[in-house]
Amino acid sequence: MMKVAVPLALATAMTVGISHADVPSVVVDIAPVHSLVTQVMGELGQPTLVISPGASPHSYSLRPSEAQALQDAGIVFWVSAGLTPWLADTIVTLAPDATRVELLEVNGITELVMRDNALFESHGHEDDADEEHEGEEHEGEEHHDDDGEHDEHASDSSGDEHDHGEHDPHAWLDPSNAAIWLDTIADELSKADPSNSETYKANAASGKAELEQLKTDVQEILDPVRNRNFIVFHDAYHYFENAFDFPAAGAISVSDASKPSPARIQQIRDRVAQANVTCVLTEPQFNPDLVNTVLDGTNAKTSSIDPLGSHLDVGPTLYNQLLRELATTLADCV
């Protein structure tokens, strides 16, 4: 008789039983985080994605259905005001009673300081100013109340305690951060829905195991092309570069995707010409004329990438597909 393998998370759900009665209504900002939440929720429920695939998270107008989803939310998982400045007040207004989890403020994650310069040091991370919430600079910043429970309104502050503009918000591109978030997601769901706590935590454990394999796979993809120089259109890949020790040489636009100055464009052109830059990575939603200006007169290739995976199917597999595709595209381009 043929034996059918049952995934760990599904097997756990089958053994401990599933109760849909108390599963909270969950809303998520971007597709990669939605993918992580979907993994943890499994068969118990489906989170609602607020920002449509292909749209820029830096500025977005909610559709009526998305605004209604926020009003109905029991839990909102979002990255930070640094990524979606328009969403901070919107969440408070539309979902005042929801548990609001700002993932960039989760204890233990690695945070990287925003890079303002057009050109980066080619290799090494001495100047990256990498930080972890567990480190010295973040001591005393744990978002818990005196009883040790999560402060569900910790992100409601006006910014007095945290300057969101200092840190690069694209933290999901470090799979070690994603692993911590899986546990955070499972913990928050378990608080809201204790009867399914074992399922949430088993699903998170399964997702973390897949992330370990993902990290190995990405390293193997990148190893043959290390020490090659590349430029990115939009400085959104700092976490990926840092996690896999594959730094970019510069970015045409800063992290918030604002329009670059002529002086910045000239700096990038000079770097491409002088540093044997073999690849400029573009993004589908940005002006291709700027890339053509940078590439003019060089032999550098160009390929398109997207930190949100907007062309991928939304769901539990999107996150891992996104990072593998980033690595493959980068390796092929350089």
The CATH architecture one would assign to domain 224-333 is 3-Layer(aba) Sandwich (3.40)
Question: What percent of the chain lies above the pLDDT cut of 70?
Answer: 78
How large is the average pLDDT for residues 220-247?
93
Task: Note the pLDDT of residue 121.
Answer: 67
Identify the burial level of 113 via C-beta atoms within 10 angstroms of its C-beta, where 0-12 means exposed, 13-18 middle and 19 or more buried.
Answer: middle
**198: amino acid identity, one letter:** E
CB of 76 closer than 8 Å to CB of 99: yes
How large is the average pLDDT for residues 162-176?
81
pLDDT confidence tier of residue 227, bands split at 50, 70 and 90: confident
pLDDT confidence tier of residue 255, bands split at 50, 70 and 90: low
Backbone phi and psi for residue 278, each to the nearest 5 degrees, phi listed first: -100, -10
The lowest-confidence range among 162-171, 217-226, 272-281 is 162-171
Beta bridge partners of 302: 280
The owner of tokens 């193997």 is 220
- Give pLDDT tens digits for 117-133: 888 865 444 344 444 45
Identify the burial level of 95 via C-beta atoms within 10 angstroms of its C-beta, where 0-12 means exposed, 13-18 middle and 19 or more buried.
Answer: buried
* Confidence check: pLDDT of 208 > 90: yes
Contacts of 250 (CB under 8 A, 6+ apart): 117, 118, 119, 120, 231, 232, 267, 268, 271
Write the Ramachandran bin of 129: left for phi over 0, alpha for psi from -120 to 50, otherwise beta: left
Reference 281, options 248, 321, 238, 323; nearest CA is: 248
How far apart (Å, rounded) are the C-alpha atoms in residues 39 and 37?
Answer: 5
CB of 211 closer than 8 Å to CB of 178: yes
* Confidence check: pLDDT of 18 > 80: no
pLDDT confidence tier of residue 26, bands split at 50, 70 and 90: very high
pLDDT confidence tier of residue 257, bands split at 50, 70 and 90: low
Q: Which helix (H) or strand (E) holds 252?
A: strand 250-253
Return the higher-pLDDT residue of 228 and 15: 228
pTM: 0.81
* Confidence check: pLDDT of 10 > 50: no
Token pair of 86 as six digits: 């328009």
**90: amino acid identity, one letter:** T
How far apart (Å, rounded) are the C-alpha atoms in residues 195 and 241?
Answer: 40
- Give pLDDT tens digits for 70-85: 999 999 999 999 999 9
pLDDT confidence tier of residue 19, bands split at 50, 70 and 90: low
Reference 106, options 136, 78, 73; nearest CA is: 78
* Confidence check: pLDDT of 60 > 70: yes
Token pair of 59 as six digits: 């500025």
Task: Note the pLDDT of residue 31.
Answer: 97
**158: amino acid identity, one letter:** S
CB of 322 closer than 8 Å to CB of 309: yes
